[in-house]
Chain A
Amino acid sequence: MEALNIFIKSVFIDNMIFAFFLGMCSYLAISKTVKTSMGLGLAVTFVLVITVPVNYLIDKYLLQPGALTWISDSFANVDLSFLSFILFIAVIAGIVQLVEMFIERYSPSLYSQLGIFLPLIAVNCAILGCSLFMQKRDYSNIEVLSFAFGSGIGWLLAIIGIAAIRERLKYSNIPPALRGLGIAFIITGLMAMAFQAFSGIKL
């Protein structure tokens, strides 16, 4: 039950884009059509669901203060958490590379859809941000999975939303200086305001 709550919370209330601004760069750059943004959103969700649990295990069994006690009790005072940035990003970059090779080998059709986006994802702040939030909050195994999946779906929802709006924007008369980027920001702001309506929900 707790896991379901976390899922809903991370999709709507703590949405990666509207509440934490994570992954804004690719969100703005690749939201011109619904089709491509669907591809990117799926790729992000996919990578999140793999990397966050892996980083969770690394955090739990290597980095946290006292995490190394499974080797020997004498390591109880060792705190390696200052290494988390470098290990997390290494895991993300490595897994993205692996996933890319794996998909290319076993599902060429999925690869041709996601292919161009996968390398971009290694430096998408939503992925690293999700791992860092996971480290700050105390989740159990199943909750981590639902947090990662929920964050990915929330990101997907946001990018599809703005892509759909931007497709329609072609037909409206926007002041020339506001066209493109400026209006994209203002729309995202308005969407964020709409999403604030969910913040009253107690889970």
Chain B
Amino acid sequence: MSEIAKKKDPLFGPRDMKLIKTPFSKENPIIVQVLGICSALAVTVKLQPAVVMALSVTVVIMMSNVIISLLRNTIPPRIRIIVQLVIVSFLVIIVDQVLRAFVYDASKQLSVYVGLIITNCIVMGRLEAFAMSNKPWPSLMDGLGNGLGYGIILIIIGFVRELFGSGTLWDIRIMPEGYIPNGLMVMPAMALILLGIIIWIHRSRNKDLLEKE
């Protein structure tokens, strides 16, 4: 008994820190693993919905990681996808109801994209790759890290698009009066190009991520 207790990691050890840190840059879910792009681009016209979306996704990843990790030894492998989908959609319903109750405007702006967290590949990806083979606590940390790694990209894109597309930040006017909003920034096309540019910058700083053809 004491043997096991000694081996146990501290509550917040260096391993947990690593789980949180790597998704920010080296293993960023959006710009390196290319998961969960749909929502990342659609909700970033303004900063506020981007932040709400980032928080919702983080909560869903953390909770579903913990639940799947607790159940990992009891789920039959053949039906695991269905089990994961059911758990994730159950959590998304809760998140959706909470958003409608407390931040109704943001929930209106996010429209169908809250529901689409269910099919967000980051959630499924983490469940398959991490939670199915790890204990609940590291799974929680992994979920937190990936959620924040996803959120940081959303916030960067949302910041640029709102600042130049509407001249505001969090609906507060930032640009001087004479500034003419750049209509291109609000259009879907610019979200894609911005993400392309972020990937470009990130890869020229991390040479080992370059794709070989």
Contacts and interface: CB of A to CB of B under 8 A. Distances in A.
Given A21-B42, A28-B34, A177 B93 contact: no
Contacts of A21: 37-39, 41-42, 188, 191-192
A182 interface: yes
Given A189-B193, A193-B189, A123 B90 contact: no
A14 to B, nearest CB: 11
Given A181-B199, A183-B196, A85 B89 contact: yes
A188 B195 CA distance: 11
Contacts of A190: 189, 193
A101 interface: no
State which size class the interface on B falls in. 35 or more
B45 to A, nearest CB: 12
A186 interface: yes
A82 interface: yes
A151 B188 CA distance: 17
A46 to B, nearest CB: 18
Contacts of A178: 196, 199-200, 203
A29 B34 contact: yes
Interface stretch (B6-14, B114-122, B143-151): B114-122
Nearest to B211: A180
Nearest to B92: A85
A93 B36 CA distance: 19
A185 B195 contact: yes
Given A89-B85, A189-B192, A177 B96 contact: no
A90 B86 contact: yes
Contacts of B210: 176-177, 179
Given A125-B119, A185-B199, A86 B93 contact: yes
**Looking at B89, B124, B191, which has the most chain A CB atoms within 10 Å of its CB?**
B89
A24 B40 CA distance: 10
